[in-house]
Amino acid sequence: MARYILGRLLGLIFVLFAVSLITFLLTRAVPGDPFASGERRLPEATQIARAAKYGFDQPILIQYGRYVWNVLHGDFGVPFQSPSQTVVDLIKQTWPVTMKIGALTILVSYPLGIVLGLLAALHRNSLIDYFVTFGSTLGMVLPNFVVAIWLILLFGVGLGWFPTGGWGSPAHFVLPVIAYSLLPTSLVARYTRVSLLESLGADHVRTARAKGLAERRVLVWHVARNALIPFVTIMIPEIPNILTGSIFIEQIFRLPGLGRFFVTSTLTRDYPMILALVLLVAVVWGLTYLFTDLLYTLLDPRIRLA
């Protein structure tokens, strides 16, 4: 197990190197001036001075080598859109907000979705099943920013129960988490229902019931464990998307999170911020898939890590 984990972590290092190289080359290949404001172009002397300041006048491989050297020493550069801060300081300031919202969303949506999917599967073709199926389908097709606006109008403006935006108190968590949880709750409920229905109809489940095992034991040891494997395959990789933020939720509720920088850094050609965000997402994805593979071995003893 330790050898496997070490091998995966070493592989992740090579993945990060490849991702950083590809992203670096792509950002430099996109035409445009990252220091221009709209259609206004800076004087040629100013452009030359800024290019020399950030090393843009050097060959592309030298620029990349210098970037890798700085990253290895913990320096991801200075964001163009906020030159008074470093990229690391900006991420340290904004990502905890996104992480708190994302963690609460996972804690709310995954257990709730599992319970709803379980109820729908155990009461197949009943009113409960129809209600869960309809609600989860609606939650998957309804954009979360539309739900966020409705929540603000109803509970913020109309009833005045919660603040309409901002950050600082526990009350500021409620509406964003509800809006953000809609899609993952719906996905979890749908996949839980499908996985459980497949497991309930399996031959080994019918055999266990024929042997006279208690229904609770059959559900826990023969149904749930097998149903969790496809669930883990599909839903665990959704965690990085949740933990890296939603531009719509953060903008609507005026949250000082990281999600907005995924859009603004691209629009403003903020090279240091783009590279840092891409590497951050790559690390989160790599660790998530490693955790998923390790979880497989706990759910199914037949799976062995090579």
Q: Which residues contact 268 (CB under 8 A, 6 or more apart)?
A: 34, 80, 81
Please name which of 286, 297, 306 lies closest in space to residue 229, comparing C-alpha atoms. Answer: 297
40 DSSP β-pair partners: 37
Average pLDDT over residues 32-43: 59
pLDDT of residue 301: 59
Cα angle 230-234-238, degrees, rounded to a multiple of 5: 150
276 DSSP β-pair partners: none
Residue 44 has pLDDT above 70, yes or no: no
User: Quick check: helix, strand or coil at residue 40?
Assistant: strand
Residue 267 has pLDDT above 60, yes or no: yes
* pLDDT tens-digit series, residues 114-144: 888 888 888 888 898 899 889 888 888 888 8
CA-CA distance, 231 to 126, in Å (whole number)? 23
Q: Which residues contact 126 (CB under 8 A, 6 or more apart)?
A: none
**What token pair was written down for 181?**
């949880």
Percent of the chain with pLDDT over 90: 1
* pLDDT tens-digit series, residues 146-178: 888 888 888 888 888 888 887 878 888 888 889
pLDDT of residue 217: 64
Average pLDDT over residues 218-235: 67
How far is the CA of 144 from the CAs of 67, 118, 129, 180, 247, in angstroms? 37, 24, 23, 6, 11
pLDDT of residue 227: 65
The CATH architecture assigned to 93-299 reads Orthogonal Bundle (1.10)
Please name which of 270, 269, 273 lies closest in space to residue 258, comparing C-alpha atoms. Answer: 273
Confidence bin at 268 (pLDDT 50/70/90): confident
162 near 171, Cβ under 8 Å? yes
CA-CA distance, 78 to 86, in Å (whole number)? 4
Residue with tokens 């062995």: 304
CA-CA distance, 19 to 279, in Å (whole number)? 7
Average pLDDT over residues 274-293: 85
* pLDDT tens-digit series, residues 245-259: 677 788 888 888 887
Residue 306 has pLDDT above 60, yes or no: no
**Would you list the DSSP string of 254-278?**
T---STTHHHHHHHTT-HHHHHHHH
Q: Which residues contact 9 (CB under 8 A, 6 or more apart)?
A: 290
Residue 183 has pLDDT above 60, yes or no: yes
Average pLDDT over residues 60-72: 86
Q: Which residues contact 14 (CB under 8 A, 6 or more apart)?
A: none
pLDDT of residue 102: 86
Domain boundaries, the chain: 93-299
